[in-house]
DNA sequence: TTAGGGTTAG
């Protein structure tokens, strides 16, 4: 019998295990349950395949306590927590007395309900077992009940090193640095695990310097200690340091494990240098390392980030049954990153199990690819699921989606959910809130949120500055840059784009010039803003000079600003110059052709209007399709030119026709109808009566009560004749209409518009 | 039998 045990302890792989199994069955030397237990012990050690282990277990006709106990241990190690609990209940009902170690695994698997077993263990007298006691202590720590853990810890007469270690990791888990350090200093002895816990603890609170100090002072280090320090760097956005540490550990003769490879690969993808990644991949190939699914997933993500979508998809497909949630999520975000929303959605719909990250990836994917309404719809679906809770990331995406379509009421509804579900918002959540408010025209609220923030980053400042810019508060934007410098936050190139835009919209020419001078290394975008500022202010010749002398090649944005300024100030010649450059730089952008055509139209050059339209047709360009949104009872209604898919379409078009008749009667003729006198009759029909803004406004008129202001939101610029039409509608209907155009809000009432500077 | 480390979304 002892020979058998000795033999069993030597088994080191599954093949030997199967041979041994055959030997036992063939010779049937001992009782059935005895050798089943023996096999299960080996299965636990070798992490044998679940199907095989199950077959061993079921081969026993009447399993005894020992068989049950080892099977329970196996389930627990495999993470099959439900099986553990049901097996325990089964033993209980059969009146089988579990071996003591069963309680360790039972407590591990019980999760939040592990507390129940504390009393149970006390009653059975197992509390003196130091392993079981530690399992309880550790359970409290893992459940975040550090107070209960501390109470138990203090009661212990004899504390093992493991208990101290559990307690220290509990302190870090609850963010109690002081207590962790105190325990560390009080400990009678420390081991690698103690030191490593300190490294990860400091990393978790973001104190990389202290983490490194403990790492450097460690008397000895395991591969885990190196991994802890390396991942600390990787997670705190210091991927270069992480790679440095990787090379250092190779030099010191440490053999990297799966974790090391995963962190190293993810650091390569953060740095974004494919050649660096290649050298790591060569190393893996040379060493003939078999990568586990974690590392494969990291690799998949890296290829996706480098734009190698096909390689990424191959890895995903080859992972097969080893594919975990993360692999699905990585593949989804790989697709959303490049705008392939339908492919992403297909994966999302087919996922076996969706977690918060899956939902967040898909919601953010829609929000970032101009599908704000879809993003919000998916969020609604998400909160109707009972098994999933939105977090800060979800909220940040959804708030930004609300901002993009100017849906303020939806934004309020999202905030209600934040309160209801007690979701804690951090910097990025507040940044999205600032974005949402300023995009919806509530700059005062945006400012208020900004001021209540405890810590702000450069994005917080940039978002509010752009908010000020969009709403015409130039001076506040400039002031904010000064505050920024006072708080020690370095303005970046986005900051200056915001400030220059603010100056431009508020007509602050000299202030803008000073800002421009203060930029250390202006980019081509800053030059484009400056051309816009000079151009809008009427200094078109200076703008032209600036382009001539700028140190880099101008891009479309630079000439676009010049073209727009030429339109505002009716400088046909300059407009032609800008347009000719734009037709070279971005021949496929229909907006430039439309702008030029409008410039010709406003000076009555109909032949040229026709010529530009002909040019567009030859190059196969469609004019821009405008879209408008109306927010009504938490639903966003979208309108596209000529669209008849809305359920109230019939009424909307009826109202539209009525309004146009009324307008004609009071002498209103859309400006564009002049420009289109030589255009085909049906095209005129298409371009005139059915602009998305008009549809949206008619819908708003249909649903809103008399006397309430109508709110229409839209992302594209309102065209000239629509602007006039809305003025007329506001006069005829005696209603206030608020329309958002690109970034600004236009308030129409009694035939007047309070925001004229574009026209 | 216990303790430490890994991949994803903004």
Helix (H, G, I), strand (E, B) or coil at A205: coil
**Which of A249, A279, A301 delimits the end of a domain?**
A249
Strand B, nucleotides covered by protein (CB < 7 Å) = 1-10
Residue A613 has pLDDT above 70, yes or no: yes
Has residue A79 got a pLDDT over 60?
yes
pLDDT tens digits along A556-604: 999 999 999 998 888 999 999 999 999 999 988 888 898 898 888 878 8
pLDDT of residue A116: 81
The DSSP annotation for A599-657 comes to HHHHTT-HHHHHHHHHHHHHTTPPPPPPEEEEEETTEEEEEETT---STTHHHHHHHHH
pLDDT score of A405: 83
DSSP A24-90: HHHH--S-HHHHHHHHHHHHHHHT--HHHHHHHHHT-SS--HHHHHHHHHHHHHTT-HHHHHHHHHH
Residue A125 lies in a domain: yes
Tell me what the mean pLDDT of segment A206-225 comes to: 91
A304, closest nucleotide (Cα–C1'): B8
Give me the mean pLDDT over the A603-626 stretch: 82
Task: Determine phi and psi for A553, rounding to 5 degrees.
Answer: -75, 125
Q: How far is CA A247 from the centre of its chain?
A: 31
Give the closest nucleotide to A227 (alpha carbon vs C1'): B5
| Distance CA A292 to C1' B5 in A | 15
The residue range of the domain holding A636 is 627-753
| Res. A464: pLDDT tops 90 | yes
User: What is the predicted pLDDT for the residue at A401?
Assistant: 92
On whether residue A725 sits in a domain, the answer given is: yes
Q: Which CATH number fits the domain that encloses residue A66?
A: 1.25.40.10
Residue A539: inside a domain: no
Q: How far apart (Å, rounded) are the C-alpha atoms in residues A388 and A157?
A: 43
Rounded to 5 degrees, what angle do the CA atoms A696, A699, A704 make?
120
Q: Tokens in use for A514?
A: 């000073």
The 3-state secondary structure of A580-601 reads: HHHHHHCCCCHHHHHHHHHHHH
Find the mean pLDDT for residues A499-517: 91
Residues 148-207 of A with CB under 7 A from strand B: 160-162, 165-166, 169, 191-193, 196-197, 200
State residue A687's pLDDT score: 44
Quick one: pLDDT at residue A684?
44
What's residue A758's pLDDT?
34
Distance CA A190, CA A170 (A): 16
pLDDT over 60 (residue A720): no
From the Cβ of A269, is strand B under 7 Å away? yes
- pLDDT higher at A684 or A524: A524
Q: What per-residue confidence (pLDDT) applies to A115?
A: 78
Domain boundary pick from A206, A226, A249: A249
A372 assigned to some structural domain: no
Residue A199's pLDDT band (cuts 50, 70, 90): very high
Between CA A324 and C1' B6 the distance (Å) reads 14
> Dihedrals φ, ψ of A740, to 5°?
-100, 125
Last-in-domain residue among A218, A249, A280: A249
Tell me, yes or no, whether A299 lies in a domain: no
pLDDT at A691: 65
The pLDDT of residue A686 is: 41
Of the candidates A353, A373, A44, the one whose C-alpha atom is nearest the C-alpha of residue A363 is A373
- Per cent of chain A over pLDDT 70 is 91
pLDDT for residue A740: 67
**pLDDT (0 to 100) of residue A689:** 41
Q: Are A312 and A304 in contact (CB under 8 A)?
A: yes
Of the candidates A325, A403, A395, A408, the one whose C-alpha atom is nearest the C-alpha of residue A364 is: A395
Task: Let me know if residue A103 belongs to a domain.
Answer: yes
A556: in domain: no
Question: Across the beta sheet with A710-714, what order do the strands follow?
Answer: A635-640, A627-632, A710-714, A737-741, A744-749, A752-753
Instruction: Kindly report, residue by residue over A348-389, the tens digit of the pLDDT.
Output: 999 988 999 999 999 999 999 988 889 999 999 999 988 889
Kindly determine whether the C-beta of residue A138 is less than 7 Å away from any atom of nucleic acid strand B: yes
- Higher-scoring residue by pLDDT: A708, A497: A497
Closest to A68 measured CA to CA, from A50, A52, A91: A91
Cβ–Cβ < 8 Å for A472, A756 = no
The band of A757, judged by pLDDT with boundaries at 50, 70 and 90, is very low
Both tokens of residue A11? 């088994």
Closest nucleotide over all strands to A298 (CA to C1'): B7
**pLDDT of A437 above 50:** yes
The segment with the largest mean pLDDT, out of A127-131, A142-146, A435-439, is: A435-439
- Distance, in Å, from the CA atom of A626 to the CA atom of A640, rounded to the nearest integer, reads 6
- Does any domain span residue A221? yes
In this predicted structure, the answer to whether residue A671 has a pLDDT above a threshold of 50 is: no
Q: Does any strand B atom come closer than 7 Å to the Cβ of A100?
A: yes
How far is CA A568 from each of CA A311, A537, A586, A613, rounded to the nearest angstrom? Answer: 50, 10, 22, 20
Q: Which of residues 530-549 of A touch strand B (CB under 7 A)?
A: none
Give me the pLDDT at residue A157, please. 84
The residue ranking higher by pLDDT, A755 or A583, is A583
In chain A, the number of structural domains is 2
Nearest to A487 by CA among A446, A440, A514, A453: A453
CB < 7 Å to strand B — which of 595-634 in chain A? none
- Phi, psi angle pair for A635, to nearest 5°: -110, 140
| Contact call for residues A201 and A168 (beta carbons, < 8 A) | yes
Judged by C1' against the alpha carbon of A431, the nearest nucleotide is: B10
**Mean pLDDT for the stretch of residues A655-684:** 58
């Amino acid at each position: 019998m002892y020979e058998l045990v000795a033999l069993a302890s030597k088994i080191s792989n599954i093949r030997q295990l199967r041979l041994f199994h055959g030997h036992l069955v063939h010779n049937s030397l001992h009782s059935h349950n005895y050798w089943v237990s023996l096999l299960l012990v080996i299965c636990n050690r070798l992490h044998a395949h679940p199907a095989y282990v199950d077959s061993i277990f079921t081969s026993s006709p009447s399993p005894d306590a020992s068989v049950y106990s080892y099977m329970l241990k196996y389930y627990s190690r495999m993470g099959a927590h439900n099986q553990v609990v049901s097996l325990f209940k089964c033993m209980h009902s059969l009146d089988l007395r579990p071996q003591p170690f069963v309680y360790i695994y039972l407590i591990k698997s019980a999760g939040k309900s592990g507390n129940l077993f504390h009393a149970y263990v006390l009653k059975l007298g197992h509390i003196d077992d130091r392993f079981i006691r530690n399992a309880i202590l550790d359970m409290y720590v893992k459940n975040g009940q550090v107070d209960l853990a501390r109470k138990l810890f203090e009661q212990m007469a004899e504390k093992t090193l493991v208990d101290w270690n559990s307690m220290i990791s509990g302190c870090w888990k609850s963010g109690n640095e002081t207590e962790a350090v105190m325990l560390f200093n009080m400990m009678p002895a420390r081991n690698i695990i103690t030191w490593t816990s300190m490294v990860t603890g400091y990393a978790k609170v973001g104190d990389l310097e202290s983490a490194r100090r403990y790492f450097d002072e460690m008397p000895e280090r395991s591969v885990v200690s190196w991994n802890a320090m390396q991942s600390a760097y990787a997670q705190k956005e210091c991927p270069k340091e992480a790679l440095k540490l990787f090379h250092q550990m190779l030099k010191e003769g440490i053999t990297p494990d799966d974790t090391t490879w995963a962190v190293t690969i993810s650091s390569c993808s953060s740095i974004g240098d494919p050649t660096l990644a290649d050298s790591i991949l060569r190393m893996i190939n040379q060493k003939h390392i078999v990568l586990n699914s974690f590392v494969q997933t990291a690799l998949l993500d890296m290829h996706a980030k480098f734009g190698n979508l096909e390689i990424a998809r191959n890895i995903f497909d080859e992972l097969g049954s080893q594919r975990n949630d993360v692999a699905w999520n990585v593949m989804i975000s790989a697709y959303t990153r490049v705008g392939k929303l339908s492919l992403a959605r297909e994966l999302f719909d087919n996922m076996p199990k969706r977690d918060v990250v899956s939902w967040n990836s898909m919601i953010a994917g829609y929000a970032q690819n101009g599908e704000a309404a879809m993003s919000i719809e998916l969020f609604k679906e998400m909160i109707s699921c009972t098994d999933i809770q939105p977090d800060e990331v979800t909220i940040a995406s959804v708030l930004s989606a609300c901002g993009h379509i100017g849906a303020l009421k939806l934004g309020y509804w999202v905030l209600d959910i934040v309160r209801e579900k007690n979701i804690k918002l951090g910097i990025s959540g507040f940044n999205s809130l600032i974005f949402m408010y300023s995009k919806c025209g509530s700059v005062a609220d945006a400012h208020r949120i900004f001021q209540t923030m405890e810590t702000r980053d450069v994005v917080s400042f940039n978002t509010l500055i752009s908010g000020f810019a969009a709403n015409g508060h130039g001076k506040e934007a400039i002031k904010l840059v000064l505050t920024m410098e006072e708080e020690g936050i370095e303005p970046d190139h986005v900051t200056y784009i915001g400030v220059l835009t603010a100056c431009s919209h508020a007509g602050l020419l000299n202030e803008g010039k000073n800002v421009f001078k203060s930029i250390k290394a202006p980019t081509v975008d800053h030059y484009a803003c400056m051309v816009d500022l000079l151009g809008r202010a009427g200094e078109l010749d200076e703008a032209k000079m600036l382009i001539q002398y700028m140190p880099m090649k101008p891009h479309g944005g630079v000439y676009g600003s010049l073209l727009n300024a030429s339109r505002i100030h009716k400088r046909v010649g300059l407009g032609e110059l800008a347009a000719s450059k734009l037709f070279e730089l971005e021949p496929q952008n229909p907006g430039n052709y439309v702008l030029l055509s409008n410039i010709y139209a406003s000076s009555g050059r109909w032949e040229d209007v026709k010529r530009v339209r002909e040019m567009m047709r030859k190059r196969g360009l469609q004019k821009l399709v405008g879209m408008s949104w109306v927010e009504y009872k938490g639903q966003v209604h979208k309108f596209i030119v000529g669209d008849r898919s809305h359920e109230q379409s019939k009424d909307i078009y009826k109202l539209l026709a009525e309004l146009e008749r009324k307008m004609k009667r009071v002498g209103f003729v859309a400006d564009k109808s002049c420009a289109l006198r030589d255009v085909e009759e049906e095209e005129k029909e298409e371009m005139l009566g059915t602009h998305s803004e008009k549809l949206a406004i008619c819908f708003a008129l249909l649903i809103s009560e008399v006397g309430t202001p109508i709110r229409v939101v839209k992302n594209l610029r309102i065209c000239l004749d629509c602007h006039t039409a809305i003025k007329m509608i506001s006069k005829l209907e005696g209603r206030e209409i608020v329309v958002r155009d690109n970034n600004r809000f236009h308030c129409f009432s009694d035939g007047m518009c309070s925001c004229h500077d574009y026209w």
